[in-house]
Amino acid sequence: MTALIPTTDLALDEIALGNPDTFLRDDVDGIFAKLRAERPVGFDAEQTPPGLPPGPGFWSFVRHGDMFGISRDYEAFTSVPAVGIFDYPVRTSIINMDPPVHTRYRLLVNRGFTPRMIGRLEESIGAQARRIVEDVAERGEADLVTDIAAKLPGQVIATMLGVPDEDQDMVQRHTNAFIAPSDPEYAGTVEDMVAASDAIEDYAKHLGRAKRDHPTDDVTSAIVNAEVTGADGNRATIDMDEFAEFVKLLLVGGNETTRNAITHGVRLFSEFPDQKARFLADPQGLAVTTADEILRYATPVTLMRRTATRDVEVAGTPIAAGDKVVMWYRSGNFDDAVFDDPYRFDVGRDPNPHLTFGAGGPHYCLGASLARVEIGVMLATLYQRLPDLEVTGPPVRMRAVSSHGVKHLPVRWTPA
Ligand code: HEM
């Protein structure tokens, strides 16, 4: 049976994609279905957060096929100054650079994140997941997000970067505030976001100085001691400010996104118990397709933005130099031009050309392999140890345009 296509009661001119409150609604997928059918390219107003000058608005592309040209053509569509809709006064390393400088910096860390290198970490990721679940097993209930899902990505990326255990909660507090400046529980103001950004960078510099003096076998030591050719053509070890931005990006990129994916995985398994049973019958064989289907269906990063460097046309629409262009991955992931029966949650879906890690091009997610492993390992560990785990209340959504985030999700199981 074909899954129902979601709907919305909103008229086209009532849809406000630049307003974070839109993403607290129950009909977000219905809104995107309507846009794909009736307004595949449109210009939207920005509800700029207090503390920032009013923004000019942005072009929205919601069909899967329209995003690749934008994402791959970095000469016409730059990632400077920002890849979120709003121009917050913070920079985040390679995600805000264009080739060729981007390429030189990305190569410093690429090797640590290849599928082969991540495969070698799988055993230790499994051990970390088992410890996290063991810590709560006797309690019989938990907030899935804060007690379970947040822990694994936080610990894994911290271990890879050499962040000691005792600093990890502090780092997580700041990364929450950094990614969700429109959610009052995490930050609430642009000043809070900038303060969080500064705090992470200060911490990174403290870590970097230690690793410059005493390098160890971690990603931080590799970056801080590497030589790069800068925009001026000279080779030098990476500047401390640039290093701190790089570490901030890795901490932020590796934390909330994967936590949200794991949380959505549990939510989706509770909505589609037949697919949970299918995955648990063969967690090894279905690990990758299950992770990819959760990533498609949940799309933890809702969008990526670029800025046109010159007058250009996309899907027949003229875009002027300086215009903001937004690729709505959460919409493209349900495009029936690409996905058969897109609202069916199918843990065996293959092929699954979702846009969750980007629409190709130089910025394709560095942590894609790591995220897939963490999602598969965490879900298998959780349900093997706590087989009757069930969701007992609605997810508390994050108020944010760019993240499909869940802040809390109550769960219960028979204490074990
Ligand atoms: C479910 C988890 C994740 C999602 C949904 C996600 C999503 C994304 C997206 C959409 C992009 C931008 C792609 C583009 O502009 O074309 C990106 C870039 C990036 N991600 Fe992830 N990510 C996830 C996990 C991770 C992890 C675990 C790391 C680990 C460090 C990571 C590190 C990065 C970095 C460094 C970039 C910038 C790459 C560049 O600009 O070259 N991500 N990610």
State pLDDT tens for residues 260-301: 999 999 999 999 999 999 999 999 999 999 999 999 999 999
Long-range contacts (CB closer than 8 Å, 24 or more residues apart) made by 194-200: 194/88, 194/89, 194/90, 197/90, 197/248, 199/174, 200/171, 200/174, 200/175, 200/244, 200/247, 200/248, 200/251, 200/252
Task: Tell me, letter by letter, the H, E, C secondary structure of the chain.
Answer: CCCCCCCCCCCHHHCCCCCHHHHHCCCHHHHHHHHHHHCCEEEECCCCCCCCCCCCCEEEECCHHHHHHHHHCCCCEECCCCCCCCCCCCCCHHHHCCCCHHHHHHHHHHHHHCHHHHHHHHHHHHHHHHHHHHHHHCCCEEEHHHHHHCHHHHHHHHHHHCCCHHHHHHHHHHHHHHHCCCCCCCCCCHHHHHHHHHHHHHHHHHHHHHHHHCCCCCHHHHHHCCEEECCCCCEEECCHHHHHHHHHHHHHHCCHHHHHHHHHHHHHHHHCHHHHHHHHHCCCCCHHHHHHHHHHHHCCECEEEEEECCCEEECCEEECCCCEEEEEHHHHCCCCCCCCCCCCCCCCCCCCCCCCCCCCCCCCCCCHHHHHHHHHHHHHHHHHHCCCCEECCCCEECCCCCECCEEECEEECCCC
The whole-angstrom separation of Cα 322 and Cα 308 is: 5
Give the C-alpha separation, 32 to 156, whole Å: 34
Asked if 128 and 373 count as a contact pair (C-beta separation under 8 A), the reply is: no
pLDDT at position 187: 67
Mutate to test the pocket of ligand 1, among 102, 219, 257 (most ligand atoms within 8 A of CB): 257
Q: Is 112 close to ligand 1, i.e. is its CB under 6 Å away?
A: no
Residue 185: what pLDDT? 82
Residue 38 Cα, ligand 1 centroid: separation in angstroms?
Answer: 30
Per-residue confidence (pLDDT) for residue 246, from 0 to 100: 93
Which residue, by CA, sits nearest to atom 20 of ligand 1? Answer: 365
pTM of the model: 0.96
The chain-wide mean pLDDT, for the chain, equals 94
Residue 217 has pLDDT above 90, yes or no: no
Residue matched to tokens 């499994």: 126
| Domain annotation covers residue 5 | no
> What whole-number distance in Å separates Cα of residue 298 and Cα of residue 288?
15
Say which amino acid occupies 117.
M
> Averaged over 396-402, what is the pLDDT?
93
In a domain, 6, yes or no: no
Cα distances (Å, whole numbers) of residue 18 to 15, 165, 304, 383: 9, 38, 13, 38
Taking Cα atoms as reference points, which of 47, 39, 105 lies closest to residue 366? 105
Ligand 1: centre distance to CA 1 (Å)? 34
* Preceding amide of 81 cis, omega within 30: yes
Could you give the number of structural domains in the chain?
1
Q: Measured from the CA of 295, which atom of ligand 1 is nearest?
A: 1
Task: State the residue range of the domain holding 364.
Answer: 12-412
Ligand 1 contact, 364 CB (< 6 A) = yes
Query: What is the CA 104 to chain-centroid distance, rounded?
Result: 23
**Which residue's CA is the nearest one to ligand 1's atom 25?**
367
Residue of the CA atom closest to atom 7 of ligand 1: 357
Cα of 342 to ligand 1 centre, how many Å? 23
The 10s digit of each residue's pLDDT in 303-344 is 999 999 999 999 999 999 999 999 999 999 999 999 999 999
Examine residue 3 and state whether it is found in any structural domain, yes or no: no
* Ligand 1 in reach of 303 Cβ (< 6 A): no
Query: Is 2 within the bounds of a domain?
Result: no
Q: Is 7 within a domain?
A: no
Residue 232 has a pLDDT of: 78
Residue of 108, 110, 223, 365 to test ligand 1 pocket, by largest number of atoms within 8 Å of CB: 365
Residue range 241-245: average pLDDT? 92
Ligand 1: nearest atom to the Cα of 370:
27
Residue 372 falls inside a structural domain: yes
The answer to whether residue 396 sits within a structural domain is yes
Structural contact between residues 79 and 97, judged by C-beta atoms closer than 8 angstroms: yes
| In a domain? residue 275 | yes
Q: What is the CATH number of the domain that holds 97?
A: 1.10.630.10
Determine if ligand 1 sits within 6 Å of the CB of residue 246. Answer: no
Q: Ligand 1 pocket, 366 CB below 6 A?
A: yes
